[in-house]
Amino acid sequence: MGKQKSMEAPSSSSLRWTDRMDKFFIDALMNEVVLGNRVDGSFTSHAYDNIVKECSEKMKLPLTKDHLKNRLKTIKKNFNEVFDLFGASGWGWNEVTAMFEYEDEVWDSLLQRKPEAKKWKNTPFPHFNLLAKLLSKDRATGDESGTAKEKRVHMTPTITESSDKSEGTMEGKMGDSKDSADSKKGKKRKATEDIFREEISIIKQGLDNVAQALREGNEVIEKGRPQVYTTQEVFEELSRMELDPITRRKAYRFLNAKQMRVRELFGLPPEERMVYLMEMMINE
């Protein structure tokens, strides 16, 4: 028998991405950001190696870097379009329907100004919140799939800002180059710290909610739970009554035999307890 043929990678045109596949992909991208494998808005080769491996295993498909780069290019294009239309204008994004929602008159006004928004009125855009965390800060750097020349153009404003501080000297430019590199490293660290801080905040909020629910539950339990009196409290109460030692010992055994008797007795005003105790012992 011949050897079983290994699964061939699908062509980019034949590969159909689903929302579930996109979620795997976006999660993998976010993880690489946390690991520091995105530099100047572009994912490193090492990042793509990790993502190819992770997504291929989860999706059960022999994916390649080209598959992922092409998909990211499409995701960025759609995100930029959606973000420009809705991201900064206070529109509500419904996580359940994965669509932007507002009154019809607001939609009508938007469509008059931007007819291209029509397709998003009834078209879901899943994972918008995740993509906003991943892509909104890097939109100024352009599409990472662009050419090296395009990337240099996108980087020019950053270099120009550094050059303005150098007062035109060569020493200043060299110093600013170092400052720029340090600044990029600082931004990468800050982006990673921001993601960690946000995730920790979400976890903390969840733990706070659980703790609050436990506290409220314990309060309800405590309110509904009958009070239990100790034998010492029973003896101290009997000692305050004018009882002879024999009667006091009998009353002590009688009350401690059933907590219900103790609660019944302690529910009365102190001045009525002795008479009620005698009545209970006689009628028992």
Band of residue 49 on the pLDDT scale cut at 50, 70, 90:
very high
Mean pLDDT, range 215-243, rounded to an integer: 73
pLDDT tens readout for residues 146-157: 433 333 333 333
Cβ atoms of residues 71 and 131 within 8 Å: no
DSSP state letter for 168: T
Q: Which of 58-67, 161-170, 189-198, 218-227 has the lowest mean pLDDT?
A: 161-170
> What pLDDT does residue 161 have?
37
> What pLDDT does residue 65 have?
92
Q: Does 6 or 22 have the greater pLDDT score?
A: 22
> What pLDDT does residue 224 have?
52
For residue 229 the two structure tokens come to 């009196």
Residues 6+ apart with CB under 8 A from 55: 21, 24, 25, 28, 61, 63, 68
Half-sphere exposure of 111 (CA within 13 A, CB side): 12
Which phi and psi angles does 199 have, rounded to 5°?
Answer: -65, -40
Which residues pair with residue 92 across a beta bridge? 101
> What pLDDT does residue 157 have?
33
pLDDT tens readout for residues 158-201: 333 333 444 444 444 445 555 555 665 566 566 666 666 666 76
> What pLDDT does residue 124 have?
87
> What pLDDT does residue 47 have?
92
User: For residue 25, how many other CB atoms are within 10 A of its CB?
Assistant: 23
Answer whether residue 110 shows pLDDT above 90.
no
> Which alpha helices (DSSP H) does the chain contain, by range?
19-34, 45-59, 65-82, 104-113, 128-135, 148-164, 170-224, 231-239, 245-256, 259-266, 270-283
> CA 196, 199, 92 angle in degrees (round to 5)?
125
Which residues pair with residue 39 across a beta bridge? 42
Q: Does 220 or 205 have the greater pLDDT score?
A: 205
pTM over 0.95: no
Q: Which of 68-82, 190-204, 232-246 has the highest average model confidence (pLDDT)?
A: 68-82
CA distance 173 to 165: 8
